[in-house]
Structure 1
Amino acid sequence: MPSSPKVYATFTVTSGCVCFGGLHNIWSGSTVPTQSFPTVRPQTRGTIRTHELQYNIRAKNGTWNVYRLIDKRNNEVSAWYVSHSCVEPVQDIRKILRIAGSPYEQDGGSTMNTDDTQREGIFVINRYDWGCYDRRYLDEIGEGAEEGANDVLANSNSAGLVDYSGAQLQVQQWKRMRPSERPGSRIGIWMYSPHAEYMFCRFSFDEARDAMQSLVFFSSNTEFARVTFEELEETVKRFETSQKRFERQLKEEYDFSGLEELRRMSTPLVVGLSPLGPSRPASELQGPYKDIKAVFEARDIERLRIVSQKYPKSFAEQWKHHIHNLLNELAWYYLDWFIRPHIGLYGGVEAMANAIFPCHLESGVNGLHNHLYRHFTQPDADPVSGLNADGVSDRIKDLLAPESLSLPSSNYSKSVCRVLAYLIMEIFELASYRASESSHAQIVPSDIRLSIYTDRDLFQIFQYSRAFWQGVE
């Protein structure tokens, strides 16, 4: 087998700039001054985030090589890689995909332009950034000849790359041809992948970020662990099973805290709108309680984990200490936020339960608050097998001192212990499902945090915990 990939075509850049995109995008790029390394950041349009583009970009002069990436399953073109002749293609494409690869693949890096992508000299273009989504010159230029019924998306999901100086003439030639028939020329290339859906591009700049030196063009159909350069056997990305990926990430000390995902999921797309639930101002958060005695010892947490799941998932060993601290922070927050204000309330257990769970009737028979109310008022009716409930109850008494001195003879701490145990078991059950969905063989903190965040009732309870949003030591 050859040691280097097959060059499909070549073209030459002489103007120090290239235009890119659909036919009308290229025309638009040819009408504005040449752009240096773009520093644009995503902006919100309705419910999507886009980048503002000018469709031209400074590029190295000289010879450019064009490579097709072939899907090994059907031998069709699935993506394109184009680079200046001075660039080593295999190493370069792997670097690009590590920093900002496909949003549909694991370990895809950044999906937007950020300080990190800028520092690495990578510029990100996503599906909503170009093609028919930007209508400048679309009416005047159109999309060109149609591919036909067998590939109706071809015009909107293929793209060209052409030297700035001859862009308009090249567009006039290409628009008379179907996308699959648009030939490369001495100044550019048309990149067509059959039956593709949505198009993405990643530009890579030289070390000084003065000029673009390579790009990867792909679609949502592209799986880089399944595609190769022509005449090479090894895939662009190495295929990993979910188990192997998780093991590698643990070994590489991947951040499984879930804090970054939590920040991203809670960032409003538009003012007043958030996909799930908004983050809370730091001034309103409670905790941390790290210097206070733990509510649950390690053996208590392990017992709750086992009892809560039909097929128990263990904790990832590297993250076990973090998980124990997080759960104790959440437990102490619950005591401080929900229990402490009602200790010693006149009227006994029922009055205290009604004050803590005012919505238990509205939540329904299977609602979380109804279950919590039942466990509080009947702590001995459904005990957790193997849990050292007496020890937990004693620590709750100590943690609530001096308020606990006002407790009547009936043991409220046992009721509180049962409520906390139920909450943690609910969290573990959801975290186990999320771990499976995320291909995690063991539970990590992100499974816990995101399970709380995506469950309406749990989020309402823990939304003001500082440890939930900002982490624990």
Structure 2
Amino acid sequence: MTTKPQVHSQFTVTSGCLCYGDLHNIWHGASSLIQEFPSAVDRHAGGTVVAQILEYNVPAQNGTWNTFQLVEKGTNRHCAWFVSHSDVDPEVEIGKILRVSGSPYERDNGSQFNDTTTAAEAVLVINRYDWGYYDKRGKEEIGFGNEADVDTSTTAVFGAGLGLVDFGTAKKEVLRWKEKKIPHEIDNRPSGIWMFIPGGEYMFGRFGFDEARTAARSFIFFTTHTYFTRTTFVGLDQTLRPDETDEEWFQRRLREGCKFEGFDMLERQIKMYNLSSQLAAESEYLGPYDSHEHLLKSTDFDAIRTRPGVKAHEFAEPLKELCHTYLNEMIMSYLEHFIAPASSSYDTVLAFATSLFPNRSYSDALDTCMYSCMMNPHSEPITGYDTRAVESKIKSFLTPRCEDNSLVRDDKFIAGIRACIAYLLSEVLELVQTYIHLSRIVPENIRLAVIQDAELRVLFKYSRVFWKRDNHVSPGPGSSHAADPAQAAE
């Protein structure tokens, strides 16, 4: 076995620029001004598909470029391409790119769009909707008037293919490639290459630039079915990313200081689904609260987690207390914003419940079960749930936040709120199972479950601890863990 990647072929760049993509993408790139490295990339507005607007050319280092086939370890299955200037160490360069922005279908995949992180690391990100037949520019110029023509040229039947070619000869090569009888055939040219991945679906690309961001020096091309934990260079045995078990990955991330809080994921969800207008204003956030005010203890959460019909996974150590803190904060913000004001507006529990849960007549609405809990708080006791202690905490929390004539003095009201809290937490923990990637619950799972559910999103929209990074929370009273769970892991 050789100890360095085997070069598949070479080509030469003389124009200081490369064009890339499908045939019509390359034609458009060759017809456009040479682009500088972007500090930001605009996106198409509207719809559920997020596509970046690119011009399909990049400034590139002149000289000899090497191409490398990437294969699945232990097989000859070709699953990606890597191309780099001859002065570049291919192993070091591809490692850097994958740390910054890898496959969106693998964990720890980095930034999936061009942002401040990719700009700082001199990486240009190209995703599945950014090129190929998703962008129509250049089609008519090269005679592609319908989707059938484009499918033939892009070899959609056989796999995924694209070109990387010197700006100066790009249009000439497009016309030559267009006439080929076997469109998915790998084609090396003195000034570029047409690359093909058999069985590939959806194309992704990443350009690596020099430190000054003046010229590209590398490019990786992969598809949906490229798994870098099983991919290596021809000539090497070590995969491009470590293949870890879930437990190995989890423990490594803990050692690296990860708290699995999920704020990056939360921000992506807000941007992707345009949820900003549905969230609270900065001035409306509530909390963080004194940890001694927290309503539920560890045993209460475990009782709710294992109540009949829920049976959620355990909370991950050493993040268990942090999860409990987040859940307490979410519930307390709900009580302060929704329950405290309403408790002073109604004379009876019935009137309160009727007003607060207007959708109770719908069988699949959250209000239906919340109304039932409020009116019949003792109908479904939860083994291990410290009813008396939780009710005492609720009353202590609400009393200074309510008027003297509020329902807080009514024991049935407090019992109803206690039952509603247990139900809400049951709903969150049940939804968490849909989004869990480990066999244990981490804070990120909680955030993802809430952001994806419209009803829960409304109820917990005022919790500063849930939505904001700078909340400075610490685990609740009685915790045996350090305030920083990453420190506790070490």
1:455 corresponds to which of 453, 456, 459: 453
Is 2:200 the counterpart of 1:196? yes
Tell me, yes or no, if the aligned pair for 2:16 and 2:60 is still in contact at 8 Å: yes
Matched residue, 2:279: 279
| 1:308-340 alpha-carbon deviations (Å, 9 max, x no partner) | 675442222232232222122122222212222
Tell me the CA shift for residue 298 of structure 1: 3.2
| 1:207-230 alpha-carbon deviations (Å, 9 max, x no partner) | 221211111011122222222211
Is 2:318 the counterpart of 1:314? no
Is 2:244 the counterpart of 1:240? yes
| 1:185-221 alpha-carbon deviations (Å, 9 max, x no partner) | 2211111112322211100011221211111011122
**Letter matched to residue 119 of structure 1:** A
Distance 1:182 1:443, change over 3 A: closer
Separation in 2 of the partners of 1:102 and 1:457? 32
Matched residue, 2:439: 441
Tell me the CA shift for residue 62 of structure 1: 1.6
**Letter matched to residue 17 of structure 1:** C
Matches within 5 A, 1:157-176: 157-176=160-179
1:253 corresponds to which of 257, 266, 269: 257
Matched residue, 1:467: 465
Distance 1:299 1:164, change over 3 A: same
Tell me, yes or no, if the aligned pair for 2:160 and 2:201 is still in contact at 8 Å: yes
**Letter matched to residue 391 of structure 1:** A
Matched residue, 1:363: 362
Separation in 2 of the partners of 1:68 and 1:346? 72
**Letter matched to residue 163 of structure 2:** G
Matched residue, 1:24: 24
Moved more, 12-21 or 292-301: 292-301
SS at match of 2:67: strand
Matches within 5 A, 1:128-277: 128-142=129-143, 152-153=155-156, 157-177=160-180, 178-181=182-185, 183-267=187-271
Matched residue, 1:95: 96
SS at match of 2:29: helix
Tell me, yes or no, if the aligned pair for 1:143 and 1:155 is still in contact at 8 Å: no
**Letter matched to residue 84 of structure 1:** H
Separation in 2 of the partners of 1:345 and 1:62? 77
**Letter matched to residue 244 of structure 1:** E
SS at match of 1:266: helix
Separation in 2 of the partners of 1:204 and 1:464? 41
Moved more, 102-111 or 317-326: 317-326
| 1:57-77 alpha-carbon deviations (Å, 9 max, x no partner) | 111122111101123476232
**Letter matched to residue 470 of structure 1:** K
Is 2:8 the counterpart of 1:8? yes
Tell me, yes or no, if the aligned pair for 1:427 and 1:448 is still in contact at 8 Å: yes
Tell me the CA shift for residue 118 of structure 1: 0.7
Tell me, yes or no, if the aligned pair for 1:131 and 1:156 is still in contact at 8 Å: no
Separation in 2 of the partners of 1:363 and 1:84? 63
Separation in 1 of the partners of 2:255 and 2:34? 45
Unpaired runs of 5+ in structure 1?
A: none
Equivalent residue pairs, number: 464
Tell me, yes or no, if the aligned pair for 2:124 and 2:206 is still in contact at 8 Å: yes
Matched residue, 2:380: 382
Distance 1:2 1:290, change over 3 A: same
Tell me the CA shift for residue 149 of structure 1: 8.6
**Letter matched to residue 131 of structure 1:** G
Matched residue, 2:482: none
Moved more, 260-269 or 400-409: 400-409
**Letter matched to residue 245 of structure 2:** T
**Letter matched to residue 449 of structure 1:** R
Tell me, yes or no, if the aligned pair for 2:17 and 2:34 is still in contact at 8 Å: yes
**Letter matched to residue 10 of structure 1:** Q
SS at match of 1:5: coil
Is 2:401 the counterpart of 1:397? no
Tell me the CA shift for residue 412 of structure 1: 2.4
Tell me the CA shift for residue 146 of structure 1: 7.7
Tell me, yes or no, if the aligned pair for 2:152 and 2:183 is still in contact at 8 Å: no
Separation in 2 of the partners of 1:310 and 1:167? 60
Separation in 1 of the partners of 2:391 and 2:32? 71
Tell me the CA shift for residue 346 of structure 1: 5.4
Tell me, yes or no, if the aligned pair for 2:18 and 2:166 is still in contact at 8 Å: yes
Tell me, yes or no, if the aligned pair for 2:159 and 2:200 is still in contact at 8 Å: no
Amino-acid identity (%): 38
| 1:138-162 alpha-carbon deviations (Å, 9 max, x no partner) | 2222469989999951699311112
TM-score, reference length from structure 2 = 0.86
Separation in 1 of the partners of 2:291 and 2:186? 68
Moved more, 108-117 or 403-412: 403-412
TM-score, reference length from structure 1 = 0.89
Tell me, yes or no, if the aligned pair for 2:153 and 2:178 is still in contact at 8 Å: no
Distance 1:65 1:424, change over 3 A: same
Matches within 5 A, 1:73-88: 75-88=76-89
Matched residue, 2:484: none
**Letter matched to residue 325 of structure 2:** N
Tell me the CA shift for residue 260 of structure 1: 2.1
Separation in 1 of the partners of 2:51 and 2:152? 30
Moved more, 169-178 or 202-211: 169-178
Separation in 2 of the partners of 1:226 and 1:33? 39
**Letter matched to residue 105 of structure 2:** Y
**Letter matched to residue 432 of structure 1:** Q
Matched residue, 1:69: 70
**Letter matched to residue 247 of structure 1:** Q
Tell me the CA shift for residue 295 of structure 1: 1.6
